[in-house]
Chains A and B, each alone.
Chain A
Amino acid sequence: NAGVTQTPKFQVLKTGQSMTLQCAQDMNHEYMSWYRQDPGMGLRLIHYSVGAGITDQGEVPNGYNVSRSTTEDFPLRLLSAAPSQTSVYFCASSYSYGGRNTEAFFGQGTRLTVV
């Protein structure tokens, strides 16, 4: 059981380049999300999805796109990378039952540097 898998683990981009961070989960969780972690800021929500075909913005969505075509996959796209997007990115999945939230299961993270 792999849980939540993120690729790549490390990435260096030049300003203006685009790329996609991949996230896949094999737990059949309906809820998936992307967070970014910056020093001293904790984790902040970028985008989330409550099921296939449904996505919405979080606290810091600018410069990022997401889509959810399947339950398993939730890729995060950087449209035109900027140095301000240098961060560690975490993908997470969870589920709820009768309104009760489970804990979020996190991927290993992607350390992105934009130069």
Chain B
Amino acid sequence: AQKVTQAQTEISVVEKEDVTLDCVYETRDTTYYLFWYKQPPSGELVFLIRRNSFDEQNEISGRYSWNFQKSTSSFNFTITASQVVDSAVYFCALSEARYGGSQGNLIFGKGTKLSVKP
């Protein structure tokens, strides 16, 4: 069975602190995709990153970085020097690649609410 666990329900930090959001996943497939989405208080879902199971390279985009480790089934997200605008709910999600089938289905974690205080 596929499952995504975000153990941190809420995190509160002070501006300029670094913060890491944890994501652990379960899947039997060898080919799969991992995603992070941001949901600001306005409610829309903003895509942040996609990573496929064959690419374990870490990725950095500005203040954001992602650490993908297949050995521990984790795909953690770090925000460096956090800002108030980073306050949002962050979702980790998993999808599996199946030709002609449910390849678009996303399994979401329950989300981590990040509050960045000035």
- Which residues from chain A sit less than 8 Å from chain B, CB to CB? 31-33, 35, 40-45, 48, 50, 56, 58, 88, 90, 92, 94-96, 99-106, 108-109, 111
The interface residues of chain B lying within 8 Å CB-to-CB of A56 are: 102
B106 touches A99 (CB 8 A): no
Q: Which of A41, A50, A88, A109 contacts B104 (CB 8 A)?
A: A50
- Pick from A35, A50, A103, A109 the residue with the most CB of B within 10 Å: A103
Q: Which of B101, B105, B111 contacts A58 (CB 8 A)?
A: B105
- Which residues from chain B sit less than 8 Å from chain A, CB to CB? 4, 9, 31, 33, 35, 37, 43-45, 47, 50, 52, 91, 93, 95, 97-111
Distance between Cα atoms of A104 and B111 in the complex (Å):
17
Q: Which of A32, A50, A103, A108 contacts B50 (CB 8 A)?
A: A103
The interface residues of chain B lying within 8 Å CB-to-CB of A92 are: 104, 106
The interface residues of chain A lying within 8 Å CB-to-CB of B37 are: 106
A45 touches B44 (CB 8 A): no
The interface residues of chain B lying within 8 Å CB-to-CB of A50 are: 100-104
User: Contacts A41-B110, A43-B91; is A101 near B103 (CB within 8 Å)?
Assistant: yes
A90 touches B103 (CB 8 A): no
5 smallest A-B Cβ distances: which pairs? A31-B104, A42-B108, A106-B45, A42-B110, A43-B108
B104 touches A33 (CB 8 A): yes
